[in-house]
Amino acid sequence: MNDELANLISALGDEEAVSRLKSLLEGSKKPPDSDCKEEREEIEELRRKLAETERELEKTKKFVRELVRQIPKPAFVLFLNKDGIIEYINEYAAEVYGAEISEMIGRKPSELASNVAAGGKTFVELAFENKMKIEGKEGFLEVKTGKAMPILTSCAPVYVDGEFEGMVDFFIDITEQKKREEEAKKAYELVKEVFRNLPTYVIFVGEDGLIKFANNNVARLAGFETADEVVGLRPADVAVIHKDYLDNAKKIVEAIKNRERIENVEVKLVGKDGSEFIASASIYPVYVGDEFAGYIEVFYDITELKEKEAEMKGLVNSTPVAVMYIDSNHNVVYWNNAAEELTGVKAEEIVGTKRTWYPFYDQERPILADLVLDNPHEAHKLYDVIKKHPVIEGAYLTEIWLNFPEKWQKGLRQGYSRTGLQ
pTM strictly above 0.85: no
Q: Does residue 181 form part of some domain?
A: no
pLDDT tens for each residue of 125-151: 889 998 999 998 898 888 888 888 898
Which contacts qualify for 148-151: CB closer than 8 Å, 24 or more apart? 149/96, 149/173, 149/174, 149/175, 150/174, 150/175, 150/178, 151/76, 151/115
DSSP 46: H
Looking up residue 114, the CATH number of its domain turns out to be: 3.30.450.20
Same domain assignment for residues 17 and 83: no
Same domain assignment for residues 155 and 196: no
- One-letter identity of residue 224: F
pLDDT value at position 120?
76
Same domain assignment for residues 190 and 297: yes
Q: Does residue 326 form part of some domain?
A: yes
Closest of 64, 108, 83, 138 to residue 99, by C-alpha:
108
Residue 196 pLDDT level (bands cut at 50, 70, 90): confident
Residue 185 has pLDDT above 60, yes or no: yes
Q: Does residue 65 form part of some domain?
A: no
Residue 285 has pLDDT above 90, yes or no: yes
More confidently predicted of 72 and 348: 348
Highest mean pLDDT among 47-51, 57-61, 163-167: 163-167
Residue 404 has pLDDT above 80, yes or no: no
DSSP 343: H
pLDDT tens for each residue of 315-350: 877 888 888 888 888 888 888 888 888 888 888 888
Mean pLDDT of all residues in the chain? 80
Closest of 182, 1, 131, 220 to residue 9, by C-alpha:
1
Same domain assignment for residues 291 and 217: yes
Q: Does residue 307 form part of some domain?
A: no
pLDDT value at position 408?
53
Q: Does residue 336 form part of some domain?
A: yes
The structural domain count of the chain equals 4
Residue 209 pLDDT level (bands cut at 50, 70, 90): very high
Residue 192 has pLDDT above 70, yes or no: yes
Dist CA 250 CA 307 (whole Å): 25
Same domain assignment for residues 158 and 212: no
Domain boundaries, position 286:
186-301
Q: Does residue 63 form part of some domain?
A: no
